[in-house]
Structure 1
């Protein structure tokens, strides 16, 4: 999808889908709440879209709302779907390359992990709530730990050039979240493999130069 259509037709179609997803997650106890959408930037606001943010200043007071109240929030507006982190779940946001490596490691080990992909090329690995984050991961600017006081978008939240989607749906693993420490370990291993491949490529290039 190269460009989203922010017409009234889009509003109706996505509002229903967003509302259904929000109700479903709220019924599972996930702290969902409304977020802004790209269309809100079109009226004279030239700020580049960096992702949805809370649509209401009192978003923390809305956490844990009953599914019926959640349904009412999305009845008239196609809000983005956000989930607060640091309460029921955390999320680790990584770039596409690291995300693919980590996903392969998870598949190879048979570990359950809901994975979200965003149209901006970023991946989200959902985990249980953590009280710390490994220094190996925190040192990388391309890796973000979403914990207490933060949030992440969930499907089908719209971006200007696509829609947030599940790469691995929670129901595939019975709505289990991987232990944060286990998921962090997978990401550290994926990061180490990435570093090793870069070093191998550098060595091969050096040999080519020396042989020339």
Structure 2
């Protein structure tokens, strides 16, 4: 019998393969959580994604979507690396970042996020009040929600307060952070914190760009003509 240096094939559904994948996921998530904590961002473990739902191991928990694994997550969230290592020692927890502490988050729809990100890149080098303060980390969910991390404390401007496409995450809220996996896919960075040297933009500067983007979108939309009909007419 000839000896082969190649390892034996292991089917992806085999217990050994599943265990290896869980270990890799846990290691990747733990490293990300540690990296956030090293830059002063509090972290809290989320429920583990298992099949089609998230399991937090709390008896009777009815929540199937992404949610904190700890009942007192606001009080227990921490940037202590020893604590974080303990949380991720056994389970591939989702990485959740509490908001209203090191940063707030402005969550917007995809079309609005693309407009604002493009404008932020355009104005990043322009001299003027607030123009150099608009570039910051931006995370994107697999469902197309864009999350702009900004300096904490500022409420939404009146023009955005009643908007259905802009949500501010402040105290008492959290966001899933890359590389957390949701049922539709992983959360990713469109602009990573490393790209901006972990600096955060002024909230009102970003909100001003959101207001401009919303006004532009409203002005370019033809009144009284459904979007689908307009698209069909352009294609004709």
In which range does the TM-score fall when normalised by the shorter chain? 0.7 to 0.9
2:202 is equivalent to residue 191 of structure 1: no
Unaligned runs of 5+ in 1: none
Match of 1:174 in 2: 197
CA radius of gyration, larger in:
2
Q: Secondary structure at the match of 2:222?
A: helix
Displaced runs of 4 or more, over 3 A: 7-10, 47-50, 199-203
Counterpart CA distance in 1 for 2:225 and 2:93 is 46
CA contact (8 A) 1:23 1:68 kept: no
Which has the higher relative contact order, 1 or 2, with Cα contacts under 8 A spaced 6 or more apart? 1
How large is the RMSD of aligned CA atoms in angstroms?
Answer: 2.8
Q: 2:36 aligns with which of 10, 14, 25?
A: 25
Could you say which residue in structure 1 is the equivalent of 2:128? none
Structure with greater helix share of residues: 1
Contact kept in structure 2, 1:133 and 1:145, CA below 8 Å: yes
Residue 10 of structure 2: aligned partner:
none
Q: How many residues matched?
A: 200
Preserved contact between residue 128 and residue 177 of structure 1 (Cα < 8 Å): yes
1:190 shift after superposition: 1.4
- 1:161 matched residue in structure 2: 184
SS in 2 for 1:173: coil
Supply the distance in 1 between the matched residues of 2:48 and 2:164 (Cα, whole angstroms).
Answer: 26
Distance 1:112 1:70, change over 3 A: same
Q: TM-score, normalised by structure 2?
A: 0.76
**TM-score normalized with structure 1 length:** 0.84
Distance 1:8 1:200, change over 3 A: farther
SS of structure 1 residue aligned to 2:195: helix
Q: Which moved more, 1:168-177 or 1:137-146?
A: 137-146
Q: Partners in 2 of 1:188 and 1:14 — Cα distance?
A: 39
